[in-house]
Amino acid sequence: MSLAERDHNVIWHPYTQMKTAALPIPIVRGEGALLYAEDGKTYIDAVASWWVNLHGHAHSYIAQKVADQLQTLEHVIFAGFTHPAAITFAERLIQILPTGQSRIFYSDNGSTAVEVALKMAIQYWQNKGIPKRKIIAFRNSYHGDTFGAMAVSARSAFTAPFWSYLFEVCFIDVPIPGHEEETIKQLEAYAHASDVAAFIYEPLVLGTAGMVMYTPQVLDQLLSICQQHDILTIADEVMTGFGRTGRTFASDYQQLKPDMVTMSKGLTGGTMALGATSCNEKIYEAFLSDDKHKTLFHGHSYTGNPVACAAGLASMDLLLQEETQQHITHISQRHTAFAEQLKSMPKVVEVRQQGTILAVEFEADGTSYFNKLGDTLYSFALEQGVILRPLGNIIYVIPPYCITDAQLDQVYQTIRGMQELITGNRYFEPPQQTTLHD
C-alpha cells in the first residue's frame, strides 16, 4: 500500500472534506524552502507550511538545539517547577516584544494563546470588581478553532455549525483603506457603552480573511479610543509575529502598544508546537491576591515544554542574525517590485503587501473560499512545483526567510501563470482527483 493509501485508511485531515479531497502528497524530507515528496518531486513551500516556517525545513542549528534539550530534559511539570529553557526564552521574548510586555504565559498553539488572552482579559475585570464583559473583534477575523477563539472569529461557513454555542461578540469592520471612518465610528459606539472588556485584533494583516490589510495609523486611532475608554487590547500576532510584516512584530509599527500579545506559528521557527501569551504588568498585577479565587486557573499538560522552548530560543538566535534581517528586507523589496508589475494586469483586482507577505486578489465569479477557481489555482501551482494555497480567489506568498532568489522567481512565475490562466492566455487541465471513493 502506498503512503497516501495508508493515510487514507486511518487519518482525518484538518479542513478537509475526506469524501472528495484528493489524496494527500506524502512528504518524506525537507531542506531550506524545499519539500521532497515520496515520488521524488520537489515543492517550494511558498506558504511556509501554514505560515509557521521561518528559517527553512529541518534546519540543522535548530535540530541540534532540540536534540541537546531532548537529552537533557524533555519535559517537566510547569506548576511548582521551572527550567532554564522556559526562563531564558521568556527573558528574551520580553526583550523583543512591544514595549510594556513583561510576563509570558506558555501554552501550545495559537488558539490556546488566544484563549489565555481572552481569559486574562475577562478575569482582569472580575478580579477588579468592575462589570465589563463584552469583547470587540473585527468582523472577518480569525483567531483560532477552539471555542473562545472561534467566538471572536468571523461567523463564517467554518464556524456555522457552532454559532449557537459561541458567546456574543461586538464585531466592527476592518478599517481597510478608504473605510477607516466607518470602523472608528463603530468602535466609538461600542466603546461608549461602559461594559467592554477588551478589543482583540490581528494587527495590520488579517491572514485567514485573505491577507486583508490596513494601516498602522488607523490602528493607532482604534487603540487610542480603547485606551480612553479603559478597554484592554489584545494584539493577535500569531501570524504577524517574528518578522513576517518586515518588523519583528506588527505592533512595532504602532505608536500605541497592546496590553497583551498572542504568539505561536513562527514562535519556534515552525519546529515545535508552542504558544505564548504575553501581558503587561497592569494585567499581571490584577491577579495578585491573598484570595485564591483571583488566580488564573489555566494550564496545559505541556505548558512551557523545554524542547519547544529550546526550539524557540534557537529560532530567535537565527531571526536576530543580521543575515536573516537582510533576507526579510530583500524578500519585502522583491515583493514590492513584483506587486508593481502585477497591479495593472487584467483580472488582477488588487495586490497587497506588508513585508514578506504578498497577496494577489484575482477577479472571480464567487469570491468565497469554496469557489472553483481556488482549486484550479492550487492544482496549477502544484504542477509547477510550488505550494500556494489560495484563499478562494486570493493567492498569497508567505515564504520561509531563507527562500533563494531563484525559488522566489519560480513562485512569481507561477503567479504570472495563474494570471495568464485566468485571462485565458494559457490552457491548464486540472489533474483528475484521485480518491479511493471515485
Is 111 annotated in a binding site? The answer is: yes
Q: Please select the residue that binds ligand PLP; options are 101, 109, 278, 280, rule is CB under 6 A.
A: 109
Residues 259-298 close enough to bind ligand PLP by CB under 6 A: 264-265
The answer to whether residues 364 and 395 touch, using CB atoms and an 8 Å cutoff, is no
Is 265 annotated in a binding site? The answer is: yes
Q: How far is the CB of 51 from ligand PLP (least distance, A)?
A: 6
Q: Please select the residue that binds ligand PLP; options are 30, 56, 98, 110, rule is CB under 6 A.
A: 110
- Active-site residues, by number, are 15, 142, 236, 265
Is 141 annotated in a binding site? The answer is: no
111: contact with ligand PLP by CB under 6 A? yes
| Cβ closest to ligand PLP, residue 180 vs residue 236 | 236
| Cβ closest to ligand PLP, residue 268 vs residue 384 | 268
Nearest to 239 by CA among 426, 52, 397: 52
| Cβ closest to ligand PLP, residue 35 vs residue 261 | 261
Region from 110-118, 212-220, 325-333, 372-380 binding ligand PLP, contact rule CB under 6 A: 110-118
C-alpha cell read off for 224: 487610542
Is 294 annotated in a binding site? The answer is: no
The answer to whether residues 395 and 388 touch, using CB atoms and an 8 Å cutoff, is yes
Is 110 annotated in a binding site? The answer is: yes
CB atoms within 10 A of CB 412: 20
Is 50 annotated in a binding site? The answer is: yes
| Cβ closest to ligand PLP, residue 65 vs residue 143 | 143
Q: Please select the residue that binds ligand PLP; options are 45, 115, 180, 236, rule is CB under 6 A.
A: 236
142: contact with ligand PLP by CB under 6 A? yes
Region from 142-150, 177-185, 220-228, 421-429 binding ligand PLP, contact rule CB under 6 A: 142-150
Region from 104-112, 215-223, 356-364, 408-416 binding ligand PLP, contact rule CB under 6 A: 104-112
- The residue of the chain with the least Cβ separation from ligand PLP equals 110
Rg (CA), the chain: 22
The answer to whether residues 158 and 152 touch, using CB atoms and an 8 Å cutoff, is no
The answer to whether residues 187 and 228 touch, using CB atoms and an 8 Å cutoff, is no
CB atoms within 10 A of CB 225: 17
Q: How far apart are CA 437 and CA 240, in angstroms?
A: 39
How many CA atoms lie less than 13 Å away from 95 in the CB half-sphere?
10
Is 300 annotated in a binding site? The answer is: yes
The answer to whether residues 411 and 358 touch, using CB atoms and an 8 Å cutoff, is no
| Cβ closest to ligand PLP, residue 14 vs residue 40 | 14
| Cβ closest to ligand PLP, residue 137 vs residue 377 | 137
114: contact with ligand PLP by CB under 6 A? yes
Query: Which residues pair with residue 136 across a beta bridge?
Result: 170, 199
Q: How far is the CB of 141 from ligand PLP (least distance, A)?
A: 8
Is 201 annotated in a binding site? The answer is: no
Residues annotated within the binding site for substrate are 50, 142, 265, 299, 389
Query: Residues interacting with ligand PLP, by CB under 6 A?
Result: 109-111, 114, 142-144, 202, 207, 236, 238-239, 264-265
Binding residues for pyridoxal 5'-phosphate: 110-111, 236, 300-301
